[in-house]
Chains A and B, each alone.
Chain A
Amino acid sequence: MTRESGARSRVSEIRPAAYGLNLPTSFAIVSRDESWQRGTMVESRLMHGHGRQRGNEIEAVDTCDERLANVCDAAADAARALVDTLPDAQVRMRVRAMREDDAESVETTITLRMHDVSIVTTPGDAHRDYELLRGLAGSKPSAKLAPLPIVWRNGSAAVLLHEAIGHAREHGAAEISWPAWLTVEAPLALRRETFRDVPLPRMTHLIARQSGAPFAPPRERIDIQLVAGGGYDPVTDVVTIEIAVSSVGAFTMQRTRSEIAASLAGAVGEPIRYPGVICSREGQQLYVASHAPVMLMDALP
């Protein structure tokens, strides 16, 4: 896990909760992955291939699907034009055009990095997130780390719940009790990063909502703005969250799911789109759109 691609999640386990999920017999992909520094492209990768599943076997070859290639190239052209308008950030754009059985999709993600802090965005939100990053990256802590209540802003609580609820479900972890005011939508689907990969049950997105859990921000508190990464360990049931930008600077939090559930004290407002979660499991990195309201967590010892 690094900060290079926004909030990343590292998890380790097999035991996929795959039963009942649709397993495509055919997966084709064309992707372009380009990195830019100060407006100059420094790395460019084209990848294409096709995986065909028969029972528990996959035959994977790097053939190119011309239709997907055209779709990918068109989206990449648009993304490059957007990159030109984001001059102050290191930028990585990744376009993935895919076909699973008969269902085609295209996904463009843009990773922006400034002052060793990165976020992941999509073309529609790129300029707004660019300004957010410009405002937050490099900001100085206003206090020292202390056992204070934590306010998760900018939808950052979505990363916490991505690990504590989403990944736990992926691994079939035992259900625990969460606050009644919290509902989390985190559907699973069999997803893979490339034609070489085995599809795994992964979140498609995560949306956390609150109902009737108002709180007044404590005067003494930690405000979390951006998250660098996180992980869930199914053996120990411990969630790790690495904070990138907060009122006390960067720090790491490690707690069990039960401790996290017991510490959630309130939330306000509608779900806020967090600027990006690139989720890595079994080495496969996938984008997971994530939303959560501003959330309050009791002080952790």
Chain B
Amino acid sequence: MTSLYRKWGRVVRYENGTTIRVEEAGEASDVEGVFEARPMLWEKGAQTRVSVPHHSVPQTGVPPPQTSGDLQQVESFVAQTLLSVHSCIVERLIVSAGISTHETNGVTWTEESLRVHLSLVKGRLRVLVDLASFDLDTIRSAAVALTRTGDPREAPPRVRLAQNVTAALLPALVGEIAIEQRGGGFDGRGLPIETRAVTADDPPNWYRPSYSIRPRRAWLNLRPLPFGSIDESMPQAVALLAPVIGTNLHVLCIDGDDVFPTELRAEHVAAVSGGEPAWYPYAAGSFGAEMML
């Protein structure tokens, strides 16, 4: 692989009380087994006469992506978040809004991204929230559940997993349930991401989270295929208390008026909801859909 990859990016990030605005551009190549990455001049480039469906790309030169308005957007979300979780200790809050333009293999495309990482603490429990949208409802739910939590309990025999929980679990379920790579956009080598069944074969696409990281083959944007039926009366795991390890989950669970921490082993998935899934920034992208164990 010898193709040059270029990226221009701007991001506004709030990190635990500090706001940082980053502007950078870089390029990478992989020639005869040697991966090289380096910054480049912002104006350098670029391909012309390239257009990508669903994205706005000027016809001459690669656009310096703009972030006007992102600072206010981030600050506003941070303020709302802190207000929503005031009953807990905010151990970590990182919120970012960014835009980047990529160019490789004759293709140019632009992506916008929102990211939230929140860690809330109550006593000796820590709730982890990772989002790709400024979704206050999920944050409020996690904070309320953490505030109301009681003593740990044994895992219920049947339990539903909320979208944000299944998204973190999904990469560990490859080979256990039917999962597809949902199509759309381009991968780290400029190849189109097509909808494909996830199999044990080498993934057709490449994951490149940064210009300075060597791309690797990966299934992107995993989506569980629906089956069975969800019993809405079952307790629901609504938040992660620790990163998922294999198929082991430490979660906050709601059963009626009770909230309790519990450990789950996701060894048998009984049903996957057919509702519209939401995308989460786990692994190389993961769509969360309600599941039942």
Contact = CB atoms under 8 A, between A and B. Distances in A.
B15 A235 contact: no
A45 B34 CA distance: 11
A44 B25 contact: no
Nearest to A51: B20
A42 interface: yes
B114 interface: no
Given A13-B92, A47-B39, A198-B15, A60 B20 contact: yes
Nearest to A236: B124
Contacts, number: 85
B17 interface: yes
A44 B21 CA distance: 26
A193 B208 CA distance: 21
A282 B91 CA distance: 12
A237 B8 CA distance: 41
A42 B36 CA distance: 8
Contact of A43 (B19, B21, B34): B34
Contacts of A59: 20-21
B67 interface: no
A262 interface: no
Interface residues of A, number: 31
B34 A12 contact: no
Given A44-B36, A49-B39, A56 B91 contact: no
Contacts of A58: 18-21
Nearest to B37: A45
A282 B121 CA distance: 17
A205 interface: no
Interface residues of B, number: 30
A14 B92 contact: yes
A14 B90 contact: yes
Interface string B3-29: 000000000000111111111111000
Contact of A61 (B24, B119, B125): B24
A105 B15 CA distance: 26
B214 A235 contact: no
Contact of A42 (B20, B35, B90): B35
A272 B126 CA distance: 37
A45 B18 contact: no
Nearest to B212: A45
A62 B23 contact: yes
Interface of A: 12-16, 40-49, 51, 56-62, 64, 196-198, 234-236, 282
Interface of B: 15-26, 33-39, 90-93, 119, 121, 124-126, 212, 214
5 A-B pairs with least C-beta separation: A62-B24, A14-B16, A46-B38, A58-B20, A60-B22
24 contacts: A13-B91, A14-B16, A14-B17, A43-B35, A43-B36, A43-B214, A44-B37, A45-B36, A45-B38, A46-B37, A46-B38, A47-B212, A51-B20, A56-B18, A56-B19, A60-B20, A60-B24, A61-B23, A64-B39, A196-B24, A197-B20, A198-B15, A198-B18, A198-B20
